[in-house]
């Protein structure tokens, strides 16, 4: 059986529909979720509480011991902990979809840039950009403040209207591109946004990337298929050596 992707979860009340990172049906591979104590939208997004770092590090170590092959998180704002989490464990860590910003930027012509749709443009800032190495990258930041989507996924309200959330995502993406026609691709910071990626891409005619595109990319590298007589076979699976079993440590040069 394929070893799972580990997900460090915030404690939330809102629904986890297919496409959301908290719904196992969003993935073609198994996942293992672990809630982090005292981590919620308020403490992570609005207060950037430094006291949360150690609980996240401890939870990441637990997931590694439990056998996951990579680790992600349920909030793109945890980009602020990317370097610390990656340094603590011995498996790939991708805290945020924002890790795709530099790659996607390199796909665009020089007169275009990435547009980042986030739950809160007021709170997404340099600490997060520095964490994933995009502080100097040209980008547009667009928040969902003032929408039904924002109210639901910050746990302000309990009633969830999926159709209204879809309208919010499309209308806000359209507003971003009207105001910033230089946007040539969109990245969703928020891990609750992927269910609406298809609708936004179709409405604007632009590529859309999110935490699921990054998860699929990372896990496709973790589990590569062998080629037998020119045809793809099966993954080596549990027969391969895990990073924790390696005995030789080399430095990057």
| Each residue's pLDDT tens digit, 10-26 | 999 999 999 999 999 99
Average pLDDT over residues 179-183: 98
Of the listed ranges 162-176, 180-194, 201-215, 221-235, the one predicted with least confidence = 221-235
| Each residue's pLDDT tens digit, 108-158 | 999 999 999 999 999 999 999 999 999 999 999 999 999 999 999 999 998
Rounded Cα–Cα distance for residues 44 and 223 (Å): 31
Residues 164, 133 contacting (CB under 8 angstroms): no
Rounded Cα–Cα distance for residues 248 and 227 (Å): 28
Whether 183 shows a pLDDT value over 90: the answer reads yes
Dihedral, CA atoms, 8, 12, 14, 20, nearest 10 degrees? -10
* Fold type of domain 5-96+213-222: Rossmann fold (3.40.50)
What does the pLDDT read at residue 233?
63
C-alpha distances out from residue 66 to 17, 34, 185, 196, Å: 26, 11, 37, 32
Q: Where are the chain's structural domains? A: 5-96+213-222, 98-210
Rounded Cα–Cα distance for residues 225 and 234 (Å): 5
| Each residue's pLDDT tens digit, 196-239 | 999 999 999 999 999 999 999 999 999 887 777 766 665 544 44
Question: Do the first three CATH levels of 5-96+213-222 and 98-210 match, i.e. the same topology?
Answer: yes
pTM of the model: 0.90
* Fold type of domain 98-210: Rossmann fold (3.40.50)
Quick one: angle between helices 162-179 and 197-204, nearest 10?
40
Strand partners, 251: none
């Amino acid at each position: 059986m394929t070893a799972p992707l580990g997900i460090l979860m915030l404690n939330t009340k809102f629904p986890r529909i297919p496409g959301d990172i908290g719904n196992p049906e969003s993935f073609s591979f198994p996942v293992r979720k672990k809630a982090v104590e005292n981590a919620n939208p308020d403490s992570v997004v609005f207060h950037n509480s430094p006291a949360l770092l150690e609980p996240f590090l401890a939870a990441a170590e637990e997931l590694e011991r439990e056998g996951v092959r990579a680790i992600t998180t349920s909030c793109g704002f945890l980009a602020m902990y990317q370097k610390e989490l990656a340094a603590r464990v011995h498996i790939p860590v991708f805290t945020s979809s924002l890790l795709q910003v530099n790659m996607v930027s390199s796909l665009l012509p020089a007169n275009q840039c990435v547009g980042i749709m986030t739950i809160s443009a007021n709170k997404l800032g340099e600490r997060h950009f520095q964490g994933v190495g995009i502080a100097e990258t040209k980008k547009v930041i667009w928040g969902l403040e003032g929408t039904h989507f924002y109210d639901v996924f910050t746990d302000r309200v309990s009633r969830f209207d999926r159709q209204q959330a879809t309208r919010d995502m499309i209308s806000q993406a359209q507003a971003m591109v009207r105001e910033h026609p230089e946007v040539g691709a969109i990245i969703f910071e928020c891990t609750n946004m992927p269910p609406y990626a298809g609708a936004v891409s179709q409405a604007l005619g632009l590529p859309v990337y999110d935490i699921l595109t990054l998860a699929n990319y990372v896990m496709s590298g973790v589990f590569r298929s062998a080629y037998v007589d020119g045809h793809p076979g099966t993954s080596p699976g549990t027969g391969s050596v895990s990073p924790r079993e390696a005995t030789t440590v080399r430095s990057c040069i």
